[in-house]
Amino acid sequence: MSESLEEYVRRLGEGGVLRAYRMYASGELVIKDPSPPRDFLEYVLRPDYSLWFWASVLTGLFAVATVFLLPWAIPLRLVLGAFIMFFLPGYVTVELFFPRENSLNDLERLGLSVVSSFAVTSLTGLVLNLTPAGINVVSSAVTTMVYVTLIGLAAAYRKWSLIRKPIA
């Protein structure tokens, strides 16, 4: 079927949206992007594909900046620090290992993100303990954001490769 989604829904009438959604959910209707990204840079720069990546990195950078720039805001520092230490590393790790949107439901993705974050944060702390910098707020935040950015880029590359070479 080569008609656009709008044309398809218009042809079906007012009840067509619900029918089209049910067909999409059952796999009878496949919606394809008419102009998918041609290369990895285009994939990363298009928010319809990589919003998860930019939201992770920018939220993490905002949290790290808040921790450093607002030392007097202890409750805010605790909440944002917990977010960047106990959610973001696991989230990008889960995106790396499960790049398909339908491979996990939202609750599974959330649970794996939290558990993976504890594992990644523990291993990061172990490595930081062996360095001259040791474990402190600055080294932990910087190391976590480097991890989130690098693993996020690797996950984005895996997602782009699935779009580039779809697997049935």
For residue 62, what are the CA distances in angstroms to 18, 59, 80, 121, 145? 39, 5, 9, 19, 11
CA 68 to chain centre: 24
Q: Are 95 and 88 in contact (CB under 8 A)?
A: no
- Name the band, by pLDDT with cuts 50, 70 and 90, for residue 9: low
pLDDT digits (tens, 9 = 90+) for 25-65: 787 877 777 788 889 999 999 998 999 999 999 988 888 88
User: Mean pLDDT in the chain?
Assistant: 86
Q: What is the sign of the dihedral through the CA atoms of 109, 138, 155 and 130?
A: negative
51 contacts 59 by C-beta, under 8 angstroms: no
Structural domain boundaries of the chain?
A: 1-32, 36-164
